[in-house]
Structure 1
Amino acid sequence: MAAISHQPADYDCPFCRLQQGGFDERNQPTDVVAVTERAYARIAPKWWPGNPGAVLVIPRVHVENLYDLAPEDAAAVWSLTQLVARGIRASYDCAGVSIRQHNEPAGGQDVWHLHVHVFPRHEGDRLYQRHDEAMWVPSRDREPFAQTLRDILRLPHELSG
Structure 2
Amino acid sequence: MAQKISYALKECYKCDGISTRQHNEPGGSQDVWHYHLHVYPRYNNDDLYRTDGKLSSSEERLSYAEQLRTWFEIDKLNNDK
TM-score bracket relative to the smaller structure:
0.7 to 0.9
Say what the alpha-carbon RMSD is for the aligned residues.
2.1
Match of 1:6 in 2: none
Identical positions, percent: 37
Match of 2:17 in 1: 96
Amino acid at match of 2:29: Q
1:146 to 53, 65, 81: 65
Q: Deviations over 1:102-149 (max 9, x none)?
A: 11122x234534321111100011224x2x635443221111011100
- Structure in which a larger fraction of residues adopt helix: 2
Aligned partners of 1:121, 1:147: CA distance in 2, in Å? 19
2:29 to 88, 109, 125: 109
Higher relative contact order, chain-length normalized (CA < 8 Å, sep 6+): 1
Runs of at least 5 residues in structure 2 that lack an aligned partner in the other structure: 77-81
Moved over 6 A (4+): none
SS at the partner of 1:118? strand
Between the two proteins, the alignment pairs up a number of residues equal to 73
Runs of at least 5 residues in structure 1 that lack an aligned partner in the other structure: 1-79, 156-161
